[in-house]
């Protein structure tokens, strides 16, 4: 484990919902706006003088309340998140932005607006393709979000403020990519579990403070010796994973996760928004819809996702790929099959793992990961 004060502080923001930096923000009169998917551009919320907060369900222990509104075949993240909402655990949230990312997540909005009293709710219609018409469509959606944020919270989101927010968030992504660069080496200075904790923290605390901590972390880990006692270099591919503990189970078996394609990982940091665009709102729409790495939510983008994964395998010297998905996620079920088929053709070892939102069946995960790593070692 890295002896880093910055890492310890970032990890604390990952393990809880209302972290100390967020509480400090609220005590100073700041407002917090949550969002349920990485397709929502945080920059727009930041430009409004608000703190963007990626909705998670850390601390949940059950779904006894939300089971009255969701079936047992709904995504467990959605059930746990709504259960926390009914318990009042999100009372620090002043507003929430939703998207039609999938039918499971859409049901959160349908139930939330009727059962939970949150001052500001806004629904953004996300297109299903990534062409020029869809970019323009999403720009109009962001315009409506901008106007509603201004109306509810007061103040004007000018182009200048939006450019300042874009610059700030680009700095965050640049620093996070530096962390990934350090993991390319033979002896990375940070584990996959620690790296995920760092990127998750970036969605839960003010960006200025986060960037300060991340610069401190990068300085602290530039000198110590890296990790040498691993058995295989792995890549993790999947969707909504906000629990570093899942990766720790994998790494405890000797597999070091050196990179990923996750929506709390590389897919939210690989690239920057154009800071010099004459239309900053249009630049945000273009980045979100047409530029950054996508997930199975977008039709017709699998070739680009496949290329992204292949490039990661090459650049990070990956020896095996683990494809994880939340149970009952239909989009990632299809993606698992397609990625697995392609990796098999190219001779890259892979393992499919299904999971619930709360870490469970640890023994089974350990056994399967152990066998997977042994197969990699045996093929060398």
Is 276 among the domain residues? Answer: no
Contacts 24+ apart (CB under 8 A), 304-310: 305/261, 305/335, 306/338, 306/339, 306/342, 308/261, 308/270, 309/235, 309/237, 309/261, 309/339, 310/346
Residue range 69-112, pLDDT digits in tens? 999 999 999 999 999 999 999 999 999 999 999 999 999 999 99
**Number of domains present in the structure of the chain:** 1
Q: Are strands 350-355 and 320-326 parallel, antiparallel or unpaired?
A: parallel
Is 85 among the domain residues? Answer: yes
Residue reference for tokens 């059950």: 62
Dist CA 10 CA 205 (whole Å):
9
Is 25 among the domain residues? Answer: yes
Q: What counts of helices (H) and strands (E) characterise the chain?
A: 14, 8
Is 373 among the domain residues? Answer: no
Residue range 346-359, pLDDT digits in tens? 999 999 999 999 99
Average pLDDT, the chain: 95
Could you tell me the pTM of the whole model?
0.96
pLDDT of res. 2 = 55
Is 112 among the domain residues? Answer: yes
How sure is the predictor about 192, in pLDDT bands with cuts at 50, 70 and 90?
very high
List the domain range (segments joined by +) for residue 112: 19-157
Q: What is the CATH number of the domain that holds 33?
A: 3.40.50.11890
Beta bridge partners of 98: 123
pLDDT of res. 354 = 95
Contacts of 60 (CB under 8 A, 6+ apart): 80, 81, 83, 84, 357, 358
Residue reference for tokens 């919270």: 153
User: Over 80: is that where the pLDDT of 24 sits?
Assistant: yes
Is 127 among the domain residues? Answer: yes
Is 105 among the domain residues? Answer: yes
Phi, psi of 95 (to 5 degrees): -175, 160
Is 99 among the domain residues? Answer: yes
């Amino acid at each position: 484990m890295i002896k880093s004060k910055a890492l310890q502080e970032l990890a604390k923001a990952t393990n809880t919902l209302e972290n100390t930096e967020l509480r400090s923000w609220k005590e100073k009169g700041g407002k917090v706006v949550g969002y349920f998917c990485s397709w929502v551009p945080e920059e727009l919320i930041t430009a409004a003088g608000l703190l963007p907060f990626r909705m998670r369900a850390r601390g949940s222990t059950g779904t006894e309340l939300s089971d009255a509104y969701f079936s047992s075949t709904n995504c467990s993240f959605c059930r746990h998140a709504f259960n926390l909402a009914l318990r009042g655990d999100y009372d620090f949230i002043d507003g929430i932005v939703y998207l039609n990312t999938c039918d499971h997540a859409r049901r959160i909005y349908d139930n939330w607006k009727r059962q939970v009293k949150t001052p500001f709710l806004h629904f953004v219609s996300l297109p299903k393709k990534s062409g020029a018409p869809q970019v323009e469509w999403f720009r109009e959606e962001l315009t409506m979000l901008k106007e509603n944020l201004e109306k509810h919270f007061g103040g004007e989101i000018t182009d200048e403020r939006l450019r300042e927010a874009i610059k700030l968030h680009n700095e965050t992504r640049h620093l996070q990519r530096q962390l990934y660069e350090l993991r390319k080496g033979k002896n990375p200075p940070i584990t996959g579990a620690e790296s995920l904790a760092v990127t998750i923290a970036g969605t839960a605390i003010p960006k200025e403070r986060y960037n300060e901590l991340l610069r401190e972390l990068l300085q602290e880990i530039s000198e110590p010796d890296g990790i040498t006692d691993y058995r295989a270099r792995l890549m993790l591919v999947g969707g909504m994973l906000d629990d570093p503990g899942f990766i720790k189970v994998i790494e405890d078996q000797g597999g070091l996760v050196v990179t990923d394609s996750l929506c709390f990982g590389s897919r939210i940091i690989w690239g920057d928004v154009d800071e010099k665009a004459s239309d900053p709102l249009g630049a945000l729409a273009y980045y979100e819809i047409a530029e950054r790495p996508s997930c199975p939510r977008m039709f017709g983008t699998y070739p680009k996702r496949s290329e992204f994964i292949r490039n990661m395998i090459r650049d990070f010297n990956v020896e095996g790929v683990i494809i994880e998905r939340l149970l009952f996620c239909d989009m990632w079920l299809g993606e698992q099959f397609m990625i697995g088929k392609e990796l098999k053709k190219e001779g890259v070892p892979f393992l499919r793992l299904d999971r619930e939102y709360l870490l469970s069946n640890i023994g089974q995960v350990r056994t399967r990961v152990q066998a997977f790593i042994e197969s990699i070692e045996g093929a060398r």
